[in-house]
Amino acid sequence: MVSRRNFFSITLIMLVVVFMFQVPEVIKNQVNNYGENEYVEITDTGLTEKSVYTASEADVEDTGRFVVFIGDTGEGSVGSVVREWSFYTKRYMESYKSVKEYEPDPGNLPEAVLVDSKSLDMKKDISVLGSYTEKGIHIIFCNLPEVTEVSKNPKLRMMLGIKGVIREKIKVEGIRLMEGFLLGGLKEYILDETMEKTQQDMDLVMPWYRISGGAKMFMHGMMEDEDVEACYMMTEGDVITKNQNLPAVIWRNKYQNAMVFGVNGEYLSTNAGLGILSAMMVELKKYDIYPVINAQNLVVVNFPDLANENEAEIMKRYSRSLKAVCRDIVWPGVVSVAQQNSRKLTCMIAPQMEYQDNLNPEEDTLVYYMKLFQEQNIEMGLSGTYRKGTDVSTKLDKDIEFLDGVVPEYSMLSFYQGNMSDEELEDALKRKRFAQVRTIFTDDNKSEQLVSYGQDNMVKQRSINDGYSHTFSENLRMISIQTALGYSNIQVDINPIAYPVTEEDSWEKLSRKFAGNTSTYWKTFSKFEKTTLSESDAHIRKFLALNYKQEKKGNTISLELSNFQEEAWFILRTQGEDIKYAEGAEFEKIEDGAYLITATEPKVQLELEGEQERYYYQLD
Amino acid sequence: MSMEALTVLQCIGILAAYLTMTFVLPAILLYRKIQKLRFCERFIAYQMTGNFYMMNLVSVLELLHIANRVTLILFTVLPCVGIYAVLYKKRPVQVLNDVFDCLERLAGGQFGVRLFMRRVRQAVWKHVKKAVRALFRRIGRNFIDIVLIVALTAGLCYVYGTNLLEHFGYCASDLPVHNYWVNYLGRNKIFVAGIYPFGFHCVVYYLHEVFVIPTYVMFRVFCFVQNLMFHYVLLAFARYCCKSKFAPYIGVFMYVFLKIFGENTFLRFFSALPQEFGMIFILPSIYYLFAFFAKKKKQTENENADSQRGNEQPVLAGEHVIRIDEDEMPPLSEESIIRIEEHGIVKTSVGQEAEEVKPQVKKASKEKKSKGKKKEKLAKLLKSEDFWYLAGFAISFGMTLSAHFYDTMIAGLLCVGVAGGYFFRLFRPRNFGKVMLTGILSIFIAILPMLVAFAMGTPLQGSLGWGMKVISGENNKEVVQTVQKEDAAENAGNAENAGNSGTITGESGAITGNGGQTGTAEGESVAAAPRRSLPQRIVDKQGFAVQAFWDAMKTYIITDSYPLFQKLLVGSMIFLAAMSLIFFMVRQTDYAARCLSLSAGLVALSILQASSKLGLPTLMDATRTCIFYAYVLAAAWSLCADGVLQFIFGWFKRKWILHTFSLAALAAVVVSCYQEDLIRVPRDTPAMETNDAILCLTNIIHDNEDFTWTICSANDELRMGEDYGYHHEVHTFLKDLQRKGRTHSITIPTSKVYFFIEKIPIMYGRAYRGDEPEISEMFADEPLPRGSGISMYQGVNRLIEMSKLYEWAQEFAELYPNDVKVYYESDNFVCYCVEQDLYRPFNFSIDIKN
């Protein structure tokens, strides 16, 4: 028999337990404002394409940022990369088709002359370039002429510090990127037993140039000792310092009064060259400070799929519907990776990719996800991906109809282009529902601008890395872009899971790659801000609008910002000196000699520790 | 942190470490056993014990190749615990059991943590209170003494310490060598460069290893500690010798504070050198002899008293009878006598009963007794004070040899003085044998590690070989020739010539000068002079000897600017001798003997000082002898002052009168010296290395992980940083550049390479051409100096080397503007730092002309 007193106690406890579990849920549901996009206001900058700063000749006197490019600047060329880099680094760029067209103005010498070797007349132009170096103009050979030309031209070799051409063509084992050039430290792009062969996708075949003792190497080929010995007769000194003779890839030589950079390969032909160019400019100075976007995005596209599409295949593979796969398998995996790496997620939902079946997206599922998104501060955008055979216009209309029915007040700020063509995209964005879209997320394209304004003042952001793949060249590109812009965009596409083609298209395999890549390769860039696409959009708008002047007096670097709005971000690269004090800005150390500066006022002062300030000192 | 502050902290740290080993630890172990001795005697005992232990522990462990921090600490702690347990009759097992019991109860909850903590707190507090009370009691009792010792310490800090704050580098050119030897002790390679007295090195190594003090820091500032120590020992010795309380301070204060002494007498005190370290042990060896003979006096008095009593007692015919001290005698009845049989067995008989014992039983009991007596004898020996005094003498005399051969020579000469002073006790058969045996044993103990190493095939170190030659007389010819040349030069009135011709460069043994021929010629001309009569010759010789000593004293010890003190120096010898006569007459025998010993010791030192001028073999360079001379003179002056005071006020029964007047005398001396402007100012002794170089080295060690860097510099950093990083000689580097040029690579495979360049090169033992020795393109264009050794970095050679390195650095910095950083720069010095990727290090052999 339970006494009355005990019965009362038990009942009371049960009530308390029920209350404790139910009340938070009730409150969470009440407070969860999933129907509104929380990023609408906080990411609104009001900046448009008109605000973009493009350096002009008149600015050069103030800023001193001026480069000359000799060569073709057409689409997909080295010139286009140089142009893009100049645009991002707020440099005024003059371009000429050939060397003879450019006559340096002694009163306004450029920081460097960048040369596309294809535009060179080897007989005449090398002497002219040599005359530039006499004036103290640094030369950057964005690529090198044919190896036979180099062999024949001693002046060019002397200028580049090439001691000799050991082999006209050699296949190296890997590529080594020296520490301190790009951000992220030392990288060795060489396969070991644990790696898949597909990882090595770098251009390993190159002419073998042996550079002179006074040159500084930034990137070189890696070879087995035996291969080096087989190809090249080594003297006693060479055996000890054999690594100095390895095939040169990127290096710098002092010639007359200037530095000459050589790039043995097509590393500056894609936007992977952005960071290399920035790093070269750092090498020419005691310090360098340049604006960056400071945004690290993780975008999951086509997730969640709200309809039970491709049911037969999905059931076969996962023994459950696509909706259940997304909810029970994909979602926990994606969220855990994001949380482990302190990433902010942007999910581009695909209500339904194929409206030809009788299935429709489920409203409850969308609400469920939107509540989760709200709790996790995840931004939701819309994916434009559609299945072949589906009319894209009809698909978008149905998507809009569905969304209007469930979350009519939700403002779509980002849109994923998917497999839509540019024209389809343009048409799509004319819809009223997309009037508030600010940023278009598109797939990777190495030769196009990484960030730029598109139609109706929308910002185009490109995916930089595929979450499921991270080859050596993708890594080099990623760190190069991080060095230049402090920006990365990882795209994780759920479409291969919904519509698998091969055995590899299964979440257990893809998720392993996604989790491994995301946790490993971005670690060194953890100081950059983790953003959603809308936040990144705001950063980009501010970055593109910004102009700045900088000067250094003693140990103090002063920055004067124009078109400044709330915050601006810079990377300061020094030769190992640390920042002692900052006024009008906050700073974080990325690595030795590299700082992320967050300017909070238009005038910033950074005081560096003196080069000679030591722990122990002598009293005067 | 400023280097000055760091240096002060390092001085304090090393002093604390050294005192822990040579004062605190021995005091903990020995205090109760020797508490009846005066503090000055205890202090000397602690010093000797601590140093002796450190030296021999390291020597033994080094010979066994197991010297490291763990073994050193282990073999310090375990014997200490053992000795403590034996001496104080503690039971370590019982103590451990108690501790474990306590911990068990604590863990088991029977003993509350709070209660335990309270008890620990109470126990600690009780001890602290006791210690503080004892401290204040002692301060109260010896207030004036403490004030004077503090004043002496402050004076020593001022006189010898300030230079450490001005010049951070080594002030002597041979310190890198000693540093090198100590570094190799760390690798268990004793006698790495040959057999050499390693006592000093063992102590430095011990402190470095156990207290984690970098060796180069030890060598930078240990001179300060050893200066303090040998001055304290001097004071303790003077205190022992004197009867008044404050007269000892007179001599010591004059020695420390007055500027009357020649620079040679203290110049080496600015460096941590073995010879100066060995000075700590010279006076203690004399003290132990004094104490031994004083103890013998008491014994003799006792014997005399006993023999008087013995005359009244029956003596058995045909048997030797001796009396033993009453304290040492077993309690016997009045009828008992001690007879010593011819074979030495002691037999005790009591009346008629002894003769009635059966022969067999007698034999067995004889054997038993003989064993027991041997043990008893040993126990008696260990208990007898004179044994310990002789042991102290052996230890301290041995340590002079362990530290430096010259210290032994001085200690030996002073022992000769003691022999003169205590002739009436020394030349008794029992005493003489004991003392001589002790002396021989002490030398044997000191050279034992060296003998072992020698037996294992290690050759003698160069300077030791030279010392052996001097002793064996092989060097005498050269020395005599040199002296003759000097005399000839002096006779010719060409002092400058003489100074240049006969320079013996210390331990290197190299004798420079080319005046041998001239000297011989002069000698022949002297030989050609008519022969004088014997008395005439003796008078001449005496006059010559006095003149020679006078000249040597003026040259090396007290200069002509202070004639009064010159007279005081000579007078003190005579005065002490005269005093000894007086005190002998008034039957203050020991005091008189001490005076006479010091006087005789000074005479012996005087002969050594003037040996080259007297034409005697120069066993020690005069510039070195004067150091010891001045040191002993300080004790002699104290004794002189004390003698006067004792003579006037010593007759009063109330000793405070004597002490008061001694304090007044000290005050009078201080005031008059101050008024006469005789107070010394610290000497600026420049280092053989720039402050900037030491600053950079200290920062480099602080900033980097060990063995990730290389310093490319002239010389000293090679040994200073040997335990932390690598070193590359500038000359080698430049020679490689010249030799390999464009064709070969020159790499230094560490991630950081520091280049030390002196813009104004220091004077390293040789003068420069012209007044402004600044690096310049002109010197950089000169060919690289040829030769070897340190000559590369001396005089203009250093200028050329530095100019060339600077030019290379400039060229290299142009090629790699961001990789060559100025790590540190001052008006006189620049340190460049090159950071490199070790996979592909820089080729320093740059194509300078593109």
* pLDDT at residue B232 greater than cutoff 90: yes
Q: CB distance A176–B839 less than 8 Å? A: yes
- Of residues B498 and A540, more confidently modeled: A540
Q: Most A CBs within 10 Å: which of B823, B828, B843, B846, as the mutation test of the A interface?
A: B843
Contacts of A254 in chain B (CB under 8 A): 814-815, 850
Q: Tens digits of per-residue pLDDT, B530-582?
A: 566 767 777 777 778 788 888 888 888 888 888 888 888 888 888 889 988 88
What average pLDDT does this structure show over A292-301? 93
Contact list, A176 vs chain B (CB under 8 Å) = 839
Which residues lie closer than 8 Å to B808 by C-beta, 6 or more apart? B734, B737, B846, B848
Rounded mean pLDDT of B173-195?
A: 86
Residues of chain B found within 8 Å of residue A241, distances taken between Cβ atoms:
745, 747, 841, 843
Q: What is the pLDDT of residue B742?
A: 60
**In this complex, do A575 and B1 lie within 8 Å of one another by their Cβ atoms?**
no
Report pLDDT for B148: 92
Q: How far apart are CA A320 and CA A541, in angstroms?
A: 43
Interface residue A577 vs chain B (CB under 8 A): no
Span B221-228, mean pLDDT?
91
Query: Once rounded to an integer, what is the mean pLDDT over residues A281-293?
Result: 91
**What confidence tier does B174 reach under pLDDT thresholds 50, 70, 90?**
confident
Residues of B in contact with A615 (CB under 8 A): 1, 699, 702-703
Instruction: Judge whether residue B469 has pLDDT over 90.
Output: no
Quote the pLDDT of residue A194: 86
End-to-end CA distance of chain A: 91
Contact A615 B835 (CB under 8 A): no
Residue of B nearest to A574 (CA): B818
Q: Which residues of A touch B744 (CB under 8 A)?
A: 235-237
- Spatial distance between the Cα atoms of B825 and B772, rounded to a whole number of angstroms: 19
Contact B695 A213 (CB under 8 A): no
Residue B357 pLDDT: 47
Band the pLDDT of B825: cuts 50, 70, 90.
confident
Q: What is the pLDDT of residue A279?
A: 93
Which residues of A are less than 8 Å from B830 in CB distance?
none
Identify all chain B residues contacting A178, using CB atoms and an 8 Å cutoff.
837, 839-840
A 206-265: CB under 8 A from B: 212-217, 220, 235-238, 240-241, 243-244, 246, 254-256
Q: Which residues in chain A have Cβ-Cβ distances shorter than 8 Å to B217? A: none
Q: pLDDT-derived band of residue A454, with 50, 70 and 90 as boundaries?
A: confident
Mean pLDDT of all residues in B7-15: 92
pLDDT of residue B585: 85
Whether residue A216 and residue B819 make contact (CB cut-off 8 A), yes or no, is yes
Q: Identify which of A377, A264, A315 has the alpha carbon closest to the alpha carbon of residue A32.
A: A377
Instruction: Please tell me the distance in Å from B695's CA to the nearest CA on chain A.
Output: 7
Q: Do B743 and A237 touch (CB under 8 A)?
A: yes
Question: Beta-carbon neighbour count of residue B12 at 10 Å?
Answer: 13
In this prediction, residues B818-834 reach a mean pLDDT of 88
Give the residue-averaged pLDDT of A39-62: 86
pLDDT score for B646: 86
Cross-chain CB nearest to A254 (options B3, B742, B814): B814
What's the mean pLDDT in B210-232? 91
C-alpha distances (whole Å) from A576 to each of A456, A610, B696, B823, B834 are 44, 10, 17, 11, 12
Question: Does residue B767 surpass a pLDDT of 80?
Answer: no
What's the gap in Å between the CA of B706 and the closest CA on chain A?
Answer: 17
Is residue B476 scored above 70 in pLDDT? no
Determine the pLDDT at residue B316: 41
Residue of A nearest to B839 (CA): A243
Q: Which two tokens stand for residue A331?
A: 């979602």
Tokens read off for B281: 């042990």
User: What is the predicted pLDDT for the residue at B116?
Assistant: 85
pLDDT confidence bin for A471, thresholds 50/70/90:
very high
B345 has a pLDDT exceeding 60: no
Residue B800 confidence (pLDDT) above 90: no
Chain B residues in contact with A216 (beta carbon < 8 A): 815-816, 819
Interface test with A, best of B699, B839, B842 (most A CBs within 10 A): B839
- Which residue on chain B is closest to A614 by alpha carbon? B699
Give chain A's mean pLDDT. 88
Band (A311; pLDDT cuts 50, 70, 90): confident
The answer to whether the CB atoms of B847 and A213 lie below 8 A apart is yes
Instruction: Give contacts of B833 with chain A, Cβ < 8 Å.
Output: none
Digit-coded pLDDT (tens) for B314-344: 444 443 433 434 344 343 333 333 333 334 3
Q: Is the dihedral of CA B169, B174, B176, B178 positive or negative?
A: negative
pLDDT, mean of residues B209-219: 91
**Which pLDDT belongs to residue B437?**
84
From start to end of A7-72, where are the E strands?
A: 66-70
Exposed/middle/buried for residue A277 (C-beta within 10 Å: 0-12, 13-18, 19+)? buried
Q: How confident is the model at residue A408 (pLDDT cuts 50, 70, 90)?
A: confident
Task: State the pLDDT at residue B201.
Answer: 92
pLDDT for residue B449 is more than 50: yes
- Is a pLDDT exceeding 50 seen at residue B233? yes
Mean pLDDT of chain B: 79
Best probe of the B interface among A163, A236, A282, A612, by most B CBs < 10 A, is: A612
For residue B100, pLDDT beyond 50: yes
Q: Which residue of A has its CA nearest to B704?
A: A615
pTM of the predicted structure, to 2 decimals: 0.76
DSSP string covering B749-811:
-SSEEEEEEESS----SSPPSSS-----HHHHHSPPPP--GGGGGSHHHHHHHHHHHHHHHHH
With cut-offs at 50, 70 and 90, classify the pLDDT of residue B112. Answer: confident
State what percent of residues in chain B have pLDDT above 70: 81
Record: contact A615-B699, CB cut-off 8 A: yes
User: Above 50 in pLDDT, residue B346?
Assistant: no
Token digits of residue A70: 């000799």
**Which one has a higher pLDDT value, B167 or A446?**
B167
Q: Residue B715's closest CA among B768, B776, B785, B794?
A: B794
Put simply, the answer to whether A241 touches B745 (Cβ < 8 Å) is yes
ipTM: 0.76
Question: Is the Cβ pair B2, A186 closer than 8 Å?
Answer: no
Task: Check whether B480 has a pLDDT greater than 50.
Answer: no
Q: Regarding predicted confidence, which is higher, A29 or B249?
A: B249
Cβ contact B823–A612 (<8 Å): yes
- Please check the confidence at residue B286 and state whether its pLDDT lies above 50: yes
H/E stretch holding A405: helix A392-406
Instruction: Tell me which chain B residue has its CA closest to the CA of residue A617.
Output: B2
Nearest-10 crossing angle of helices B199-210, B175-185: 60
Residue pLDDT, tens place only, B410-430: 988 888 888 888 888 777 777
pLDDT digits (tens, 9 = 90+) for B493-538: 333 333 333 333 334 333 333 333 333 333 344 444 556 676 777 7
Average pLDDT over residues A490-505: 89
A97-151 pLDDT, tens per residue? 888 888 888 888 899 999 998 888 888 888 898 899 998 899 999 999 998 888 8
Q: What is the pLDDT of residues B41-89, one digit of tens each?
A: 999 999 999 999 999 899 889 888 898 999 999 999 998 888 888 887 7
Q: Choose from A8-22, A437-451, B54-68, B814-828 the range with maximum mean pLDDT.
A: A8-22
pLDDT band at B360 (very low <50, low <70, confident <90, very high): low
Torsion of CA B577, B583, B589, B595, to 10 degrees: -30
User: Burial code of B513-552, b = ≥16 C-beta within 10 A, e = fewer?
Assistant: bebbebbeebbeeeeeeeeeeeeeeeeeeeebbeebbbeb
pLDDT computed for residue B330 by the predictor: 40
C-alpha span between B219 and B231 (Å, rounded): 19
| Farthest-apart Cα atoms in chain B, separation | 116
Residues of B in contact with A214 (CB under 8 A): 815, 843, 846-847, 850
Residue range A371-405, pLDDT digits in tens? 888 888 899 999 988 887 778 888 888 889 888 88
Rounded to whole angstroms, the Cα distance separating B230 from B213 reads 22
pLDDT score for A182: 92
Q: Give whole-number Cα distances, A167 to A160, A175, A245, A264, A266, in Å.
A: 17, 17, 12, 13, 19
Contact residues, chain A, for B816 at CB < 8 Å:
216
pLDDT tens-digit map of B302-317 = 666 666 665 554 444 4
Q: Which residue has the higher pLDDT, B364 or B422?
A: B422
Chain centroid to Cα B79, Å, comes to: 25
For residues A585 and A294, what is the distance between their CA atoms, to the nearest angstrom? 15
